[in-house]
Chains A and B, each alone.
Chain A
Amino acid sequence: MKRWQVILDLVCDVAQYLNEDISEQTTNKKGKNKQEVEVEEEEQDTADLDDVREVIRQHELLKKDSNNEVKRMNDFINNLLGSDSDDE
């Protein structure tokens, strides 16, 4: 066997080895990345839902305060109108 043939065989083996290794690693990485992205998205969605829940809770409290204010004003107005005959 010629020396150049030995070197060529070696180069082919190395090329094959390197090629397999790189493609496997890439697939693994892609799979891992996809999983990571999905988990991140899920976490983000959960955080958003928690935010919305908190907004709704606070909004309900604000609505209660606003309704009380309007009721207070209306009660006062009705008192005024009721006292009309007493004062005139």
Chain B
Amino acid sequence: MNKSKKKKFIDFLMREARELTTFNFLVSYSLTTRDTLLQQQDDYRKGVAYTAYPVANYYKLEKDVLNNIIELPAMVASQYMAFFALEVSLTSYNYSGFIFTYVKGSRSKKDGKYVANLYLEVYQDKEMVGTLTIKGNSDTAKLIEEYMTLFEKQLAPARERINKIQLKLLAKVVKLIKKHLI
């Protein structure tokens, strides 16, 4: 490969590697697990940054990589559950999803059973786009329950597997970059 071709090839590999450093996560957490989850995310982010060090160096992003600290929404409540699709690149992050807690409800007219209501905050692109209060026995509450099960049992584990493949691809591209940079 001549010099000009080699430079183009490295540029191309760098672009590909940079794209591969953007990871998607499906995260769910509660009041008690949020800190652990944030720590896990931070470790993963650092791992990716370490693997992709030649990329950060090539684009002079080291400072931005260091400043990319992930924060996720919390609620002032004794208990809450949060479900977010989180996207983390070398230098930024974004999330969309919802967080909810149980609030004072009412007795069912049918059987007189007490049902708590759900208070939800909905986020899109890191911004809170709405709040809702839903009756605990409504169709929407059932829909949320179904989505939560799907999220935890299927979507999140599948996402973890995909991320493992992506990390391998990234390592492969970085290996090629190192090889051709010499």
Task: Please report A residues at the B interface, Cβ cutoff 8 Å.
Answer: 41, 45, 48, 51-52, 55-56, 58-59, 62, 65-66, 69-70, 72-74, 76-77, 79-81, 83-84, 86-88
- Which residue on B lies nearest to A84, using beta carbons? B132
Residues of B within 8 A of A59 (CB): 16, 19-20, 166, 169
What are the 4 tightest A-B residue pairs by CB atom distance, in nearest-first order?
Answer: A73-B85, A66-B24, A83-B140, A87-B134
B126 at the interface (CB under 8 A from A): no
Report which of B1, B12, B96, B173 forms a contact with A73, defined as CB distance below 8 A: B96
Bound complex: CA A2 to CA B129 (Å): 113
Q: Are A88 and B133 in contact (CB under 8 A)?
A: yes
In the complex, given contacts A52-B173, A62-B166, A80-B140, what are 15 additional A-B residue pairs having Cβ atoms less than 8 angstroms apart? A58-B165, A58-B169, A59-B20, A66-B24, A70-B87, A73-B97, A74-B96, A77-B129, A80-B130, A81-B129, A83-B134, A87-B134, A87-B135, A87-B138, A88-B132
Q: Are B13 and A52 in contact (CB under 8 A)?
A: yes
Nearest CB in chain B: distance from A26 CB, A: 28
Report which of B26, B124, B162 forms a contact with A77, defined as CB distance below 8 A: B124
Task: Please report B residues at the A interface, Cβ cutoff 8 Å.
Answer: 1, 12-13, 16, 19-20, 24, 26, 85, 87, 96-98, 120, 122, 124, 129-130, 132-135, 138-140, 143-144, 147, 155, 159, 162, 165-166, 169, 172-173, 176, 179-180
Bound complex: CA A47 to CA B1 (Å): 13
Residues of A within 8 A of B155 (CB): 69, 72
- Which residue on B lies nearest to A82, using beta carbons? B140
Q: Are B19 and A45 in contact (CB under 8 A)?
A: no
Pairs across A and B, CB under 8 Å, 16 listed:
A52-B13, A58-B169, A59-B169, A62-B162, A66-B162, A69-B26, A69-B85, A73-B85, A74-B96, A74-B124, A80-B140, A83-B134, A83-B139, A87-B132, A87-B140, A88-B134
Bound complex: CA A76 to CA B96 (Å): 11
Q: A80-B132, A81-B130 are in contact. Are A65 and B162 (CB under 8 A)?
A: yes
